[in-house]
Structure 1
Amino acid sequence: MGCFGFLKMMMFVFNGVIFLAGAAILGVGIWVKVDSGSILGVLGKIDNAPPELGQVLNVGYLLIAIGVLLLVIGFLGCCGAVRESTCMLLLFFVIVLVVFIAEVAGAVVILVFRPLADELLTKLGKAAVESIKKDYGENADVTGLWNTTMTSLHCCGFYNSSDFVDSPYYEHHGSLYPPQCCAVTESACVQTAATITGCFPKIKKLFEENTVVIVGVALGIAALEICAMAVSMILYCRIKSKGD
């Protein structure tokens, strides 16, 4: 197998994986939009939530768009390499280049508008705490969502156990916190709940501890995109020269 054949094979395998990933993401996006009982529906019921939170309800459309984009990229890459189509390879190069530029622009925007993100998180935290105090222990959707989140992350409340004070659950259970906030037994819940980390601080700490991994993954994706563009151009030039 020559260099040209090897590049064709790598182009086919790489874009085949992208095509399958796009199909999976598209499926998840469709499921999110179809499932009315999903977490997104619960978030939409939170009272006094910041207007920006409503954008989360569009995540299904975002996943669908990403899935379709990956399907198109994977299809063009695979077929362009197998059929030696200069048109498909050129279109593949253009789309990946646009995605790469958009990612760079997005990273710059995130860095520049970081204070706005912090402000949004503050508003989100206030809305989450108000929702807990009003609905936890009374609204089945809100209660189930928080129970699942706290059990999965081993955390208590949004910020800490005090978020549950004056909630329906707190009042109906003799001023006790939820079982997820207890380190030992229910009888010791009030004394030990303060030692359980809140869900938001825990998620924030998780991101901070894995910053290097996140940056590494981002750089890896960027490197793969650059390599994909380079290979597509090499194949394009080689095929075009053969045609001439």
Structure 2
Amino acid sequence: MGCFEFLKITMFVFNGIIFLAGAAILGVGIWVKVDSGSVLNFLGKIEDAPTELSQILNVGYLLIAIGLLLLVIGFLGCCGAMKESKCMLLLFFIIVLLVFIAQVAGAVVILVFRPLAEELIQKLRTAAVKNIKKDYGKNQDITGLWNTMMTGLHCCGFHNSSDFVDSPYYVDHNMQLPPQCCTDLTPFCNQSIADSGKINPGCFQKIWDLINSNTLVIVGVALGIAVLEICAMVVSMILYCRIKSMSA
């Protein structure tokens, strides 16, 4: 097998995987949009929630866009390599190049607008704490959502256990915190032992710690994707030039 045939097969297999991944992401995006009614119903129950929070529904559009983009890239890469189409390979190169530029621009935007993200988080904190104090223990949907999050992350409230003080649950259960707030060794706890280490930390802190602990993984994945994109562009141009020289 010559180098040219090897590159063709590599291009086909690599872009076949991209095509299948795009189909899967597109399916998830469509599912999110179809089921968006339940998400809207829940968000509507959160009093004083920041208006930016509603933008979470746009993740469905984002997934659909990413899925369609991957489908197009995978199709052009596969067909361009196997059919030895200069036009498809050139389009493949241009689209991947634009995606690469967009990723670099996106990284710059994230760094520049980081203060705005912190401001949004602060607004979300205020709304979440008010939501707990008003509805936790009274509204079944709100209570169930927080219980699921606290059980999964082993956390308590948005900021800490004080978020539950004066909530319907706290009042109705003799000033006790939800059992999800207590460590495994303390099935019943209250705010008086907040500094004893027997109460789980806030959910926001757990999520933030999780992100920080996986920063290297996130950066590594981003760099890996960038390297793959560069390799794909190089291979597509090699095939393009070889096919062009053969047809000359």
Task: Please indicate, yes or no, whether the TM-score normalized by the shorter chain is above 0.5.
Answer: yes
State the 4+ residue runs in structure 1 displaced beyond 6 angstroms.
Answer: none
Other-structure match for 1:3: 3
Other-structure match for 2:189: 188
Task: From the superposition, tell whether residues 125 and 74 of structure 1 become closer, same or farther in structure 2 (CA, over 3 Å).
Answer: same
Task: From the superposition, tell whether residues 51 and 180 of structure 1 become closer, same or farther in structure 2 (CA, over 3 Å).
Answer: same
% identity of equivalent residues: 74
Q: 2: CA distance between counterparts of 1:214 and 1:99? A: 18
Task: From the superposition, tell whether residues 45 and 188 of structure 1 become closer, same or farther in structure 2 (CA, over 3 Å).
Answer: closer
Deviations 1:48-67 (A, max 9, x none): 11121121121111111111
Aligned residues of 1:158 and 1:199 also touching (Cα < 8 A): yes
Aligned residues of 1:32 and 1:38 also touching (Cα < 8 A): no
Aligned residues of 2:26 and 2:65 also touching (Cα < 8 A): yes
Aligned residues of 2:76 and 2:92 also touching (Cα < 8 A): yes
* 1:49-88 → structure 2 map (5 Å cutoff): 49-88=49-88
**Segment of structure 1 superposing worse, 132-141 or 1-10:** 132-141
Aligned residues of 1:182 and 1:193 also touching (Cα < 8 A): no
Q: 2: CA distance between counterparts of 1:182 and 1:54? A: 32
Residue type of the partner of 1:236? Y
Other-structure match for 1:239: 243
Note the residue ranges of structure 1 that are not aligned, 5 or more in a row.
none
User: Are 1:213 and 2:213 counterparts?
Assistant: no
**Segment of structure 1 superposing worse, 141-150 or 182-191:** 182-191
Deviations 1:187-217 (A, max 9, x none): 3354556531111111111111221111111
Over aligned residue pairs, what C-alpha RMSD do you find? Answer: 1.7
Q: 1: CA distance between counterparts of 2:45 and 2:9? A: 50
Aligned residues of 2:79 and 2:85 also touching (Cα < 8 A): yes
Residue type of the partner of 1:27? G
Query: TM-score scaled to structure 1, two decimals?
Result: 0.94
Aligned residues of 2:177 and 2:188 also touching (Cα < 8 A): no
Residue type of the partner of 1:188? C
* 1:17-32 → structure 2 map (5 Å cutoff): 17-32=17-32
The aligned length equals 244
User: Are 1:226 and 2:230 counterparts?
Assistant: yes
Residue type of the partner of 1:238? R
